[in-house]
Structure 1
Amino acid sequence: MKKYITRAALGLLGTFSLVSCGDEFLGTNFSNTEEQAPITTVEKLQAFVYGDYATMRDVNYYGNYFVTTSEVRSDEMYSNNRSGYHTTTMNYTMVSSDAQASGAWSAMYTVVAKANTIINTTDNLTWGQSQDPTEISEKVKHLKGQAYALRAQAFFDLLRLFGQKYTQNPAQLGVVLPLQYNPSANMARATIAQTEAQIEADFDKAYQYLNGNSNNAYGDKTVLNDYSVQALMSRYYLYKGNYAKVRTLVSNIVGSGRWSVVKADSFVPSFALNNASPNSMFELAVGTAVTIAPSMNDFLNPNGAYKNIPVKTAIYNTYNSADIRRTAIQTSSAVAGRFINAKYPSLAGDTNIRMVRYEEVLLNGVEAELNGGSASTALTYYNAILSNRGLASAASVDMTALKAERAKELIGEGFRYWDLLRWGNTITKNTTGGGTNGAAPLNLLAFPIPQAETNVAGSLVVSNPGYDN
């Protein structure tokens, strides 16, 4: 694994611009000399944390392709092949040199590398705001807690994209798990079980450091706190099928009373509210100085530059005419099909990326309660969403209704492919006209390991079967 560590390290050691959750770090630059030296202050450690959030905005990660991959491989959206984007991903014709695979790999492992730098920094730092050892320790824990959570999320996303969990490969390989910067390391892929164990250990450490931390600022949704980490954990444990864990996590979040389902008349405009919507639990800050291009609204928005990913007619027709979410899907004057006109509303690229909405947490809770929990609690969570979408409350809810509701509420947010996989659905290949063309090959459900990794002399990284490396 030598190559990616070297590449990620270069990203850390070179000059970069950090856009943080606070204006005081906007545009701050750190020279090569400063970054190569050990981190000795809380201020620099905090800058690295903000830099890690910034990396998650990468166009190959949550800035676009990681999210849109899940949509074009799902039953709710597809690529119309405009400008050639998403073609190999949707058609399962990727090769080991595919830019979308290597781009995702690089971005995610850069998040890991930066998190490792933060986590492995000494706790004995100075801080311009305080000389109190207790206050400094609490602040360092707050920053390292965020780094543990970001590393956990990156490992989870790497596992979903490159791991062999659903490919029926008996090797059951996960991903490489570097836990510290070592430019001479040559690491093999861990098993899925080992990868999941590391994800859980990181999430647990993140929660331990953030739970009750005096530096938690719940009003700032661009910085992780103990509850938003629990929300990310609920997503992971739902994927793993640990419903009891999900029930506990969701109950904690709901019981806090800090978030609410956005009202029907606020649903569409809520996505344009940076750091202000009552249902937003965690979002990645995006400012005009760091406009992501091409961004998701280029592909999903009816007025976007590419208008590349339409909504399937069958999904659109599942919305009740009174459902406010139906109005968020509109036709384009230039391209056939319907597109999402709300979730990525700013064509200027300055709308924050929603990482966790409270509605997702409730849907996680519904599914978990339906699998060994309380039917009454599941219905309460379910109706909290329906009653705020212009719909009548339901008398009951089952898995069929839950699956349909996840599609309607979370469409375009990068969940559906992973949902279908964990539910055991057959994944079908989409066509550029919105139809299907048979089942996707099981061994190609995972992305190819980038050729640049497997071709390194002496590399221990094993490729995924079915590709050219």
Structure 2
Amino acid sequence: MKLNILKTILLTASLSTAIVSCSEDFVETKFFQDVEQAPLTSLTEVESFERGMYTSMRSETYYGRDYTAFAEVRSDEMYSNLYAGYFTTVYNYQMTSADAYARDTYRQIYTAVAKANILINTDVNGIQGTAADRDAVRYHIGQAYVLRALYFFDLLKLYGQKYTGGSLGIVTPLKYDPKALQARGTIAQNEAQIESDFTTGLAMMEQYDLGVTDRVYLNVYGAKALMSRFYLYKGDYAKVRTLVADIVNSDLYQVIPAASYAGSWKSSKQNNSIFELAVGVAGANGTNSLGYLYNYNGYGNTVVSSGLYNQYSNNDVRKSIIELTDGEYYLYKYPSLEGADNLKLIRYEEVLLNGVEAELNGGSAATALIYYNQIVQNRGLAAASSVNMTTLKLERAKELVGEGFRQWDLLRWGDPVPRPSVASTDIRLTAFPIPRVETDIAGTPIVSNPGYDN
């Protein structure tokens, strides 16, 4: 891989002024040509680079809007009504190698990878300060490993051939090298690298644990929650069961009660939040935000299907944040039109649902039911007497709608993924195209995905 946007990195001159409030904008790193990244030499610089990773993640082309929406508009629980022209090529499976959605998300995630690689390859012995400072740096390097695993996982789902009949995955650069050329690995190689990053990062975070409790920073349990997501998609249910049990037994998190459910989407750092991206006014994406995409008074482009809406009972509190307007169902999980709501990356409810599925696949049916009832009883519903995979699939849809999971759930289950009537039926187009700006680089070993024009 040799991305033009990753040719060089420089820290901004304001690096030493780390943020003092989560509502302020994270210190960002800037990418320039022909200047190599200088080594990080202080804990302050390391912390600022970490915040730069978070900044990359909250971009509108990553978790701030597009990456989340991709899995919703290609699902059975939401769809794009094509208002304002958003997601037309994605929804209709009409992307080309020059498609802006494929290009910009690819670029944004690999920008985050580059920042993670600079942190991971930091020489801890070169860090100025105390031994405690250097141990703190090791903790942050552990976070960078975990987040790099997440970035690779997200790239693999979107651009890899796991669900298209092929064997190729994505490029997995392990250090920042603006002049490197690297080919795509296989899916198996990618998954092994992701697992290695997760386990390495978690071990470092546990060994040098800083006792982080602020939910806008990844902690040990956030790392375990992300790992449970990865192992669920990989089908390693035993690992999911262990990770979920660790998180549940920590007693640090709880399912949001019915009375607080609607308000929890307007508020940051709630008890069900394991890891969220701080946004605030300074970091808001405005008209490019997820809230503006979902809300009727914004673009109102991505809406809930009537099929899912009709599955909610009238006393289900989740129904209260879906509103019927002009014949379509609008979701208000991110109610701010300015996009100032924190992005809830990992909620306790997702972890419990991961646990339900894992327990139903080789574990304890009784434990699965306990996890399941923790959710439904806090949504205004009566406790269930049993749970099975059919029930679990519907509950994941009702609880996680709009959060960017559904297409991936359908694909890993082998369930049908609906396509509009105008869409191609070519299964290869499930994977996004490798952007032409990548495959056109002279001497690149990267090959394109079949079915596209590059």
Q: TM-score, normalised by structure 1?
A: 0.91
Q: Deviations over 1:43-62 (max 9, x none)?
A: 00110000001100111110
Alignment of 1:214-253 (within 5 A): 214-218=209-213, 220-253=214-247
Q: Deviation of residue 97 (structure 1)?
A: 0.2
Alignment of 1:54-133 (within 5 A): 54-126=55-127, 131-133=129-131
Whether the aligned pair in 2 keeps the contact of 1:428 and 1:440 (CA below 8 Å) is: no
Alpha-carbon spacing, 1:344–1:93, altered in 2? closer, same or farther (3 Å): same
Instruction: State the partner residue of 2:175.
Output: 180
Instruction: State the partner residue of 1:144.
Output: 141
1:368 corresponds to which of 358, 368, 371: 358
Distance 1:355 1:20 in 2: 23
Alpha-carbon spacing, 1:123–1:279, altered in 2? closer, same or farther (3 Å): same
Runs of 4+, deviation exceeding 3 Å: 14-22, 24-36, 436-440
Q: Deviation of residue 205 (structure 1)?
A: 1.1
Distance 1:17 1:320 in 2: 52
Q: Deviation of residue 441 (structure 1)?
A: 2.2
1:454 corresponds to which of 416, 439, 446: 439
Paired AA for residue 202 in structure 1: D
Q: Deviation of residue 110 (structure 1)?
A: 0.5
User: What is the DSSP-based 3-state SS (H/G/I as helix, E as strand, rest coil) of the residue aligned with 2:52?
Assistant: helix
User: What is the DSSP-based 3-state SS (H/G/I as helix, E as strand, rest coil) of the residue aligned with 2:179?
Assistant: coil
Whether the aligned pair in 1 keeps the contact of 2:26 and 2:54 (CA below 8 Å) is: no
Is there any run of 5+ residues in structure 1 with no aligned partner, and where? Answer: 431-435
Q: Deviation of residue 22 (structure 1)?
A: 4.4
Alpha-carbon spacing, 1:17–1:331, altered in 2? closer, same or farther (3 Å): farther
Whether the aligned pair in 1 keeps the contact of 2:10 and 2:29 (CA below 8 Å) is: no
Instruction: State the partner residue of 1:290.
Output: 283
Q: Deviations over 1:60-117 (max 9, x none)?
A: 1101000000000000111111111001001101000000000110011001000000
Distance 1:227 1:282 in 2: 9
Q: Deviation of residue 38 (structure 1)?
A: 1.9
2:204 corresponds to which of 196, 205, 209: 209
Whether the aligned pair in 1 keeps the contact of 2:60 and 2:66 (CA below 8 Å) is: yes
Alpha-carbon spacing, 1:340–1:210, altered in 2? closer, same or farther (3 Å): same
Distance 1:196 1:22 in 2: 37
Q: Deviation of residue 145 (structure 1)?
A: 1.1
Distance 2:18 2:70 in 1: 27
Alpha-carbon spacing, 1:26–1:292, altered in 2? closer, same or farther (3 Å): closer
Instruction: State the partner residue of 1:397.
Output: 387
Instruction: State the partner residue of 1:433.
Output: none
Q: Deviation of residue 29 (structure 1)?
A: 7.2
Whether the aligned pair in 1 keeps the contact of 2:291 and 2:338 (CA below 8 Å) is: no
Is there any run of 5+ residues in structure 2 with no aligned partner, and where? Answer: none
User: What is the DSSP-based 3-state SS (H/G/I as helix, E as strand, rest coil) of the residue aligned with 2:144?
Assistant: helix
Whether the aligned pair in 2 keeps the contact of 1:59 and 1:295 (CA below 8 Å) is: yes
Alignment of 1:231-310 (within 5 A): 231-275=225-269, 277-293=270-286, 294-303=288-297, 305-310=298-303
Q: Deviation of residue 137 (structure 1)?
A: 2.9
Q: Deviations over 1:387-411 (max 9, x none)?
A: 0000000000000000000000000
2:400 maps to 1:414: no
Alpha-carbon spacing, 1:212–1:30, altered in 2? closer, same or farther (3 Å): closer
**Higher mean Cα deviation, 116-125 or 206-215?**
206-215
Whether the aligned pair in 2 keeps the contact of 1:21 and 1:223 (CA below 8 Å) is: no
Q: Percent identity among equivalent residues? A: 49
Whether the aligned pair in 1 keeps the contact of 2:226 and 2:346 (CA below 8 Å) is: yes
